[in-house]
Amino acid sequence: MIGIIDYKAGNLTSVARALQYLGASWTVTADPRELSGCDRIILPGVGAAGEAMTNLRRLGMDTWLRECLAAGTPLLGICLGTQVIFSHSEENDTPCLDLVPGWVRRFPDGLREGERALKIPHMGWNRVEFSRPHPVFAGLPAAEYYFVHSFYPDPADTAHILGRTEYGLRFCSALAHRNLVAVQFHPEKSGAPGLRILANFCRWGGADAQ
């Protein structure tokens, strides 16, 4: 059973539909007691870091997620769910979960690609270049993934970075730390390659992550 954390950050339905398409068993809940019975956990989300952290703390999810990481349960962060795993976000000047040391930074104004001005938020399809193997990203073709974000992860330890993307600057778009993997893009909206990531996560035991 895969637990999808409901912390009022949206995007739950598309993740659940992707898991249903893959034939996985899932539940959406805001109750840590129900989540404790799940084999794997997904922390999705869209929205603002400040409100997200307020909801996670109100639900007791901040403490529970730290316990979940320590217990070795496989975790997957998606978009905002990736950003809140870090120590601090520049969005709303928000202290976050600190599951992975590092920061979440806003794309600076004036980003350009050659002569073309780039819009913020970064929205649409973009390539992820994976730098080293990991079971959750195994067997993926060269592909683009769907992004919607104005902030990006900046891990303190570059060894945690698995994938990078270019958008006016080169940023971390996929990472791993112990039994936690996280992506800044939306695998549930990224077609066959995104479904492959979710399918790999459904089989991943978590123990072989760096």
Contact 167, 149 (CB under 8 A): no
As a whole number, the mean pLDDT across the chain is 94
pLDDT band at 77; cut points 50, 70, 90: very high
- Catalytic residue from among 68, 96, 122, 188: 188
pLDDT at 28: 96
User: Is 186 considered catalytic here?
Assistant: yes
Helix axes 191-203, 12-21, angle to 10 degrees: 80
Residue 81 has pLDDT above 70, yes or no: yes
**Rounded mean pLDDT, 83-96:** 97
**Rounded mean pLDDT, 117-125:** 94
pTM of the predicted model as reported, rounded to 2 decimal places? 0.96
pLDDT at 78: 97
For the chain, what percent of residues have pLDDT higher than 90? Answer: 88
Residue 67 has pLDDT above 90, yes or no: yes
pLDDT at 181: 98
User: Is 144 considered catalytic here?
Assistant: no
Q: How long a stretch of residues is the chain?
A: 210
Q: From the CB of residue 45, how many other CB atoms can be counted at a distance below 10 Å? A: 27
- Catalytic residue from among 134, 160, 177, 186: 186
pLDDT at 66: 96
Q: Containing H/E element for 190?
A: none
48-87 b/e (C-beta count within 10 Å ≥ 16 → b): bbebbbebbeebebbebbeebbeeebbbbbbbbbbbbbbb
Residue 210 has pLDDT above 60, yes or no: no
Q: What is the CATH architecture assignment of 2-203? A: 3-Layer(aba) Sandwich (3.40)
Residue 60: left (phi > 0), alpha (psi -120 to 50), or beta?
left
User: Is 172 considered catalytic here?
Assistant: no
Residue type at position 88? H
Tokens of 119: 């819009």
- Catalytic residue from among 38, 68, 79, 202: 79
pLDDT at 209: 52
